[in-house]
Structure formats: structure tokens, C-alpha cells
Structure 1
Amino acid sequence: MKKFATAVWQGNLKAGKGSISTESGALADAPYGFNTRFEGEPGTNPEELIGAAHAGCFSMALSNILGESGLVADRIQTRADVTLERLEPGFTITAVHLTLEARIPGASDEAFLAAAAKAKENCPISRLLNATITLDARLEQ
């Protein structure tokens, strides 16, 4: 399976503007820029999108793992706090902290914690940090 998203950027870093769209149309020309990333202006930013992807992926992975144990969650809520820091090589995502709240009838604390740990290790977005990244680039004339 392959999915795609696109980003369009115009201008320099601080004054430029961009838009992000997804294949599904869930995001269509969502604005982003220096001001939405670093100055709290309305719009999205890459770290927020990574957080949303990680929270969603983790929640689905947990649901799958619970199902393998015969458990079904009434509700899973995951928050992903993405930390972006300025380091020597440049801005770097240094951490993602997942905060999980779930209502799972019949689950013991032990089973819940084990399933959450397994979901964290097996969620594809969690594993993304170890992914191979390839690039094809073409300059338009």
C-alpha cells in the first residue's frame, strides 16, 4: 500500500507560505508556514501532522492488539506531544511523548499496559524513525 501527500511552498522561509494536501482530501490546501510553525498563527505544521499520524497509528495498533486478546475498547484517546529542538545540526525532532487514556471493558491493568507497550513498539509510525528514506528529485525548467 502506498499513500501520498503533497506540499507546495512559495517564497523564502520567514515570509513564504505553503499548503499541504492529502490523497484522501482530508487536508486540502491546508496552510502552513514559518508563522504557523514557530509563531502560533492559524494553520498546521509538520510536527503537528507527525503527532496526529503517530496518535492515530498508535490507537489503531492498540485496538488490533487488544482484539488479538479478545478485548474491544469502548474508547482510545491518544495524544502525541512532538518535541522540536534546535540542536547543532539544526532543528530536530528529539522526542514524541504519547499520552493514552482508554476505556476497555474486561481489561486488567497488566493486560492494558502490556498491550500499550506492544502497540508502541509495533505501530508503523513508531517504527518510522528507523525507516529507509529515498529521494528522487527533478528541477523544473
Structure 2
Amino acid sequence: MQKLNLPSYTFKLKSNENKTLIFDNLRKKYMVLTPEEWVRQHFVQWLIQERNYPVSLIAIEKQLVINNLKKRTDIVVFASDGHPNIIVECKAPHIKITQDTFDQIARYNLKLDADYLIVTNGLQHFFCMLDKENETYVFLRDIPQYQ
């Protein structure tokens, strides 16, 4: 898999029916190793190991319903009170991050009302904070460490 603009982490990999699988520690099962899954697993580890977010507050592929359609967020990090704090949208490294990507995560956030949004393809990372008073997003250099 491609080297990402994130620290290197150790993952459990195995082969099954000509497919490489990666063990997801949060979902407690092996997942097909797609380029997007590679980014998601790295970003989850980055949140845990570099930003100190507890595993217990992170959900992967959380389902939500928007306009009667079932959608799944890539990563949601909850605050200790259970409110969604961060939504992360992961794309494969070869996928260019466009306005459509931001529109997608913004639609999810209409439902979840998180404080921070992150869009990443593993090479580029965009961090923004919701300014609820002015109903806009402010781009940041990073997200805060877990307190």
C-alpha cells in the first residue's frame, strides 16, 4: 500500500481468497484492505496515538439516515458526554479532495452537529471547526489534543 502523510503504524494483515485483509481493532474484525481502508486505519491510529483520543469514543462507519437514504460516516469521535465532536471523511490517496467531498461531510454534519470536520485522503488533511454563531467553518492547521 501507498506511503501516507501520516506516521507509520503496525497493522495485522492476512491474505484470504486473493485479498489482503487488515485487522480493525475498533470493529474487532478483519476488513478488506482497500486504499480507503488503509487511510481510515492510519487516521484512526493517528487520532489514538498522536492526539490521545480514547478508543472508546471512536466509531467507524456509523450509520445515519439523510433524506431517507442510509449513509455511513468513516470515523466519528464523540465527546465524553456522547455528543459527536469530530467527523472524519476518508478518501483513497488517488482521490482528489474537492468541494463535493466537503459537501458530503457537511451533509453528514447537518445530522450529527459535530464541532470539527476532517477530510483526508491520507496525503492531504483538511481540518475545520464549526463556527455556530456565524454558521460557517473555520479552517485550522490541526485539531486539538484530547483533554
Q: Give the structure-1-normalised TM-score.
A: 0.34
* RCO higher in structure (CA 8 A, sep ≥6): 2
Q: Give the structure-2-normalised TM-score.
A: 0.33
**Bigger share in strand:** 2
> Rg larger in 1 or in 2?
1
